[in-house]
Chain A
Amino acid sequence: MIGISYMEKTHIVDERKLNLLEIIPYTKNGHVIPDWWKDITLDGKNAFILLPIPHSKMEGWRETNLSPFFNPQRKWTVDIKKQVHREHIPEIINKYFSAHILWENGVVTMDENLIDLPDKIIVSDFKEILASEHEELLKSNLERDKEPQHIFEALSEMLFYNGIFIYLPKGIVIDEPMNIYIMSSADRQDTIDIPWVLIILDDTAQASITLNYITHNTESASVWVNAKTKIVLGKNAHLNVLENIQGTEKTLRFHSISAGLDKDSSLNYNSLHLSGRFLRSEINAEIQGENVQCHINGLTLNEKNHFSETQQQIQHLKGQSVSRIHWRGLGREQSKTVYRGKIYIAPDAQKSDSIQQFKGLSLSDGAVIDAKPQLEIYADDVRCTHGATVGPPSAELIYYFQSRGIPPVKARSLLVRGFANQVLADIPFPNTKEFISPYLIMSL
């Protein structure tokens, strides 16, 4: 433990944090950084110093081994790129989700075909918004509405350097999905990337967005992606999101997604966790008005000795709204998959309707799948159900396939496909089934 003087106070700082505290987040690219922006990073730093590194005795962190992130041997750095290296994008993603907006370690590029968007839509990086008419909108949405819950949220603020800003003013509708690529890369040494995404749909606006997270690293370097996404939906605004998360053997991810849903709005948030050494994804959706539809669907494919954890919370703060969670996890080899889902119904949120369902399929004895769905209900006139099942493919089903001439190996592959198809059927993006097909073959 080492004492550090910061903002005229002295704290004892866990030495595993020191390297991260040395990182200087700003870039000198000619933008004047306003005070509110600097305050985000300073407040973040303060919180980062004060908050403990979570450990297995803390609620919500029992299954999460954070030693790959916080290790005194690691020297994390920030490496902001001058340009996006499109050549590092896997062909299969480009084939299904042709890139419109690309991020790589803090630099943002727009594709030429984005010009077709209606004029009033703002698609930009955060820095371009500074000193424009939308700076106030950016500022008010980036500033904290609550204290960081843990050190990863604090880190996103402390090292905040840029982000992708999407704003649809009132009534604007785009039919075709907008495809965003968030590439994080480590060329020489262990690198941390802090992508922020802010999506604001004003009243009655509608959009469809894919968020494609990929990493690129050299053999000796790890990538830590500390991603933060914020979604704000106005009255009767409708947003579909497909998140496609991939990574390498040296990818460590911490993703935090928060969404606020106003009256009559709908959010359909879909997530595919396809690969990568470590992922913890936290989704927190707040239903702030009546007659809201909030759907979260996802599929985790987990293998090797990888770790994938999903923590979700939907908070019904107002009544007469519907929430649905349908999540599935497929684990093989020595992988560990954790699902924590919680539906919270506030005392005023009468006539809430919520269904939460998790299913896990373990394809080997060594694969661990741990699920805990939870309900916290403070209103009396609600309809809420939750359920979780985890197990290997049923021997009875495999026998049925065999009795029709299909050998067990093929039976298992069809069962895996069937298992995934059930959640893919709820994902309103075309070609998702085709896109994921090769990943399912890999997961056998």
Chain B
Amino acid sequence: MNLLEIKNLKVSVEGQLILKGIDLTIGSGETHAIMGPNGSGKSTLAQVLTGNENYEVDPESKILFFGEDITSTPPEERARRGIFTAFQYPVEIPGLSNTEFLHTALNEIREWRHLSSLDIWDFEKILKEKMKEIGLDPTFSDRSVNEGFSGGEKKRNEIVQMAILEPILAILDETDSGLDIDALKSVAEGVNRMRNPKRSFIIITHYQRLLNYIKPDFVHVLYKGKIVKSGDYTLALELEQKGYDWLKTDSEQELSIAKA
């Protein structure tokens, strides 16, 4: 059974159609990159998979996770089932420490999976270890979630959260944006350490740069709310060389041919 199946996904925001019918199937252990120019709907796709209720999903569309329809499942339940999104713009939570936040999150997920809850002291040790691995100062565990963090620290913190929550499907929404090369490498290493035959990734990115470090199995190009091209890693290289314009022209031609 496929880990994720997206069928004819149409999504609108405030009445405007953003995703215009996406079909995508992801198997266990696969890493898919979704690339595309600004405004193509990449982040909308990430938000809809996370369960953001501000997006209107067409009643005909389906998102299946291990065959089960999760199209209208609330975000917390998707998270408990194993879907994790590293956000492009992680929010700050003043007054709540990383430890307390993530300890609560992990225990919610563990409870749903019928696992015993983790003691906060044991948890903090694990958290500090993960922080070290991903290049975040372990003393940040006591600091409020993302408060006063630099852009790079926030992104690293998202990867720390991913490492702690051990999702089955991880969606990285433009995790590379605003990262310097060192941060990019440590984020990529964090992701690569987690790759295994049971865990899948969706890497959403504008640039091919991150894909030098996290080699995807498949690359899809999203343009104007549709996947206009799919291929293997070489497609990413091609995009890096040629930019997106050639695809725009191709797909627009296709569209006009279709219309005709």
Contact A403 B104 (CB under 8 A): no
* A68: min CB distance to chain B, Å: 34
With an 8 A cutoff between CB atoms, is B165 at the interface? Answer: yes
Q: Does A40 contact B (CB under 8 A)?
A: no
**Chain B residues near A420 (CB-CB < 8 A):** 95
Given the known interface contacts A399-B52, A414-B100, A414-B101, the answer about A407 and B93 at a Cβ–Cβ threshold of 8 Å is no
Chain A count of residues within 8 A CB distance of the other chain: 23
B200 at interface, CB cutoff 8 A: no
Find A404's partner among B94, B95, B165 (CB 8 Å cutoff).
B165
A418 touches B93 (CB 8 A): yes
Which applies to chain A's interface (DSSP): helix, strand, loop or mixed?
helix
CA–CA, A422 and B95, complex, Å: 5
Q: Which residue of B lies closest to A416 (CB)?
A: B95
A414 to B98, CA, bound (A): 12
Please provide the chain A residues from 385 to 444 with a CB less than 8 Å away from any CB of chain B in the complex: 394, 396-397, 399-408, 410, 414-415, 417-422, 425
In the assembled complex, B144 has its CB within 8 A of some CB on chain A: yes
Closest chain A CB from B47 CB (angstroms): 9
User: Nearest chain A CB to B231's CB is how many angstroms away?
Assistant: 30
CB atoms of A405 and B105 under 8 A apart? yes
Q: Say yes or no: A406 contacts B52, CB within 8 Å.
A: no
B161, CB-defined interface residue at 8 Å: yes
Of the stretches B75-83, B129-137, B232-240, B247-255, the one at the interface is: B75-83
A253 CA / B113 CA spacing, docked (Å):
50
CB distance from A301 to the nearest CB of B (A): 15
Q: Contact: B93 with A415, CB < 8 Å?
A: yes
Contacts A400-B90, A404-B79, A404-B161; is A418 near B109 (CB within 8 Å)?
no
Given the known A-B contacts A407-B108, A410-B108, A414-B104, are A402 and B95 also in contact in the complex, defined by CB atoms under 8 Å? Answer: no
Distance between Cα atoms of A425 and B90 in the complex (Å): 24
A241 to chain B, nearest CB (A): 23
Contact among A394, A399, A414 for B96, CB-based, below 8 A: A414
Across the interface, A410 reaches (CB within 8 A) one of B102, B104, B109, namely: B104
Q: Which residues of B contact A396 (CB under 8 A)?
A: 91
Residue of A nearest to B146 (CB): A400
Query: How far, in angstroms, from A340 to B112 measured CA to CA in the complex?
Result: 46
Task: State which of B85, B93, B95 has its C-beta within 8 Å of the C-beta of A403.
Answer: B85
Task: Return the chain A residue nearest B161 by Cβ.
Answer: A404
Contact B79–A403 (Cβ < 8 Å)? yes
Q: Are B51 and A402 in contact (CB under 8 A)?
A: yes
Residues of the B chain whose Cβ atoms lie less than 8 Å from the Cβ of A422: 94-95
A218 CA to B78 CA, complexed, in Å: 51
Taking CB atoms, residues of chain A closer than 8 Å to B112 are 405
Q: How far is the CB of A330 from chain B (nearest CB, A)?
A: 12
* B159-174, CB < 8 A from A: 161, 165
| Residues of chain B from 102 to 116 with CB closer than 8 A to chain A in the complex | 102, 104-106, 108-109, 112
Contact A406 B76 (CB under 8 A): yes
Nearest CB in chain A: distance from B23 CB, A: 24
Contact for A405 among B76, B91, B93, B96, CB less than 8 A: B76
Q: List 11 A-B contacts (CB under 8 A).
A: A397-B91, A397-B93, A401-B76, A403-B50, A404-B76, A405-B76, A405-B80, A410-B104, A414-B101, A418-B94, A419-B95
Listed in ascending order, the chain A residues whose CB lies under 8 Å from chain B are 394, 396-397, 399-408, 410, 414-415, 417-422, 425
Lowest 7 CB-CB distances: which A-B pairs, in order?
A: A418-B95, A418-B96, A405-B79, A402-B75, A421-B95, A404-B105, A422-B95
